[in-house]
Homo-oligomer: A and B are copies of this chain.
Amino acid sequence: MSRLLVVGTVAYDSIETPFGKVDNVLGGSALHFTSAASFFTDVGIVATVGKDFDLNDISYLKERNVDMSGIRAEEGKTFRWEGRYGYDLNQAITLKTELNVIEKFKPVIPDTFKDAEFVFLANIDPELQTHVIGQIKRPLALVLDTMNFWIENKFQALMEVISKVDMLVINEAELREISKEHNLVKGARKIMEKGPQCIVAKRGEYGVLMVKGDEIFLCPAYPLEDVFDPTGAGDTFAGGFMGYLSNVGEVTSETIKQAIIMGSLMASFNVEDFSVNRLKGLGYDEIKERYHSFRKCVEFGDIKFR
């Protein structure tokens, strides 16, 4: 049994940043997610690839006990994305998107995945996300991501799937766009009225803002001196976040906060190299070390009032 199920994309990316350029490297939401989550729990992936995809390229995930039986190879080519970043690494310019096999993707959840305790619906068509929910047993936490394209083109379908999930893990810009509120806390409360109990807003280099009922949690991003390639940072965050929750096995305000920190740390590794390179070779000790270094950056003694 896989404790954590992710449904998303596996892709080949071509990326240019001010620091280098790569062609046809591993990418896609499900792959970035799993590269992080597999450090903490047993993950099952559901995705589609083309006949050109070589499963040997992701054998490092097998070693981490990832169940890849849900990756189906279809006639055609694997999804491809081509993008570029300037020195302000916050925003990607999409140069080319080749949907390829993704165009006909209709996720089929293998029976062995249907009772996963934690489920992450990475960014795909919200109608497909609803289709996935119809196939699974109610998990401990059902968490959703999306993107501006669906907000702008399938808003009703998106709101329907949002009403069914426990949490949203989205960018601050997406939170603003969905809620039509500039203020993130207000926007989160507005979305929570539709169903979710918790909104996790990713703010890139500025960290994460979480709203859950009356609680707010603020997590700064780990301060890096060299950010190399931000592609996949959001999905890597989600992977660390869900992987941590799945390992702890319970969803409370306390574990959500800790999971946010873990997601944030995993994302900080991801951006240090292209593709999944950094996560591929990462050691568990490095995660512990970075956590201790993170704590030093946020701890402070109690204020002395006069």
Query: Chain A residues in contact with chain B, CB under 8 A?
Result: 40, 87-88, 182-186, 203, 206-207, 209, 215-221, 223-227, 244, 247-248, 254, 257-258, 261-262, 284, 287-288, 291, 296-298, 300-306
A39 to chain B: closest residue by CB: B306
Closest B residue to A210 using CB positions: B297
| Least distance between A10 CB and chain B CB atoms (Å) | 26
Whether A218 and B220, one on each chain, are in contact in the complex, defined by CB atoms closer than 8 angstroms, is yes
Given A40-B306, A206-B206, A209-B223, also A217-B297 (CB < 8 A):
yes
CB-CB under 8 A from A288, the residues of chain B are: 305
Show 23 residue pairs from A and B whose CB-CB distance is below 8 angstroms, ordered by the A residue: A87-B182, A88-B182, A183-B224, A183-B225, A184-B223, A185-B223, A185-B225, A206-B207, A207-B218, A209-B223, A215-B296, A218-B223, A219-B220, A219-B300, A247-B306, A254-B300, A258-B300, A258-B301, A258-B302, A258-B304, A288-B305, A291-B303, A298-B298
**Given known contacts A218-B223, A220-B220, A298-B218, is B185 in contact with A261 (CB within 8 Å)?**
no
Roughly how many angstroms separate A223 CA and B254 CA in the complex, as a whole number? 19
A300 touches B261 (CB 8 A): yes
Which one of A209, A223, A262 has the greatest number of beta carbons of chain B within 10 Å?
A223
Within the complex, the shortest CB–CB distance from A202 to chain B, in Å, comes to 13
Q: Which residues of B contact A40 (CB under 8 A)?
A: 306
Partner of A206 from the list B88, B203, B223 (CB cut-off 8 Å) is B203
Taken together as a complex, chains A and B put the C-alpha atoms of A291 and B301 apart, in Å, by 12
Q: Cβ of A87: which chain B residues have Cβ within 8 Å of it? A: 182
Name the distance in Å between A182's Cβ and chain B's nearest Cβ: 5
A208 CB to nearest chain B CB (Å): 9
CB distance from A201 to the nearest CB of B (A): 11
Known: A88-B182, A225-B185, A227-B183. Contact between A261 and B303, CB under 8 A? Answer: yes
Q: A206-B203, A225-B183, A225-B185 are known contacts. Are A262 and B303 too (CB-CB below 8 A)?
A: yes
Contacts of A215 in B (CB 8 A): 296
Q: Quote the shortest CB–CB distance from A248 to chain B (angstroms).
A: 6
- A303 partner residues in chain B, CB cutoff 8 A: 244, 258, 261-262, 291
* Nearest B residue to A222, CB-CB: B218
Cβ-defined contact, B300 with A217, below 8 A = yes
Contact partner, A304, options B88, B186, B248, B287, Cβ 8 Å: B248
**Using Cβ atoms and an 8 Å threshold, which residues of chain B touch A206?**
203, 206-207
| Structural contact, A300 and B227, CB atoms closer than 8 A | no
Which residues of chain B come closer than 8 Å to A305, judged between CB atoms?
Answer: 284, 287-288, 291
Q: With A258-B304, A288-B305 known to touch, is A297 a contact of B216 (CB < 8 Å)?
A: yes
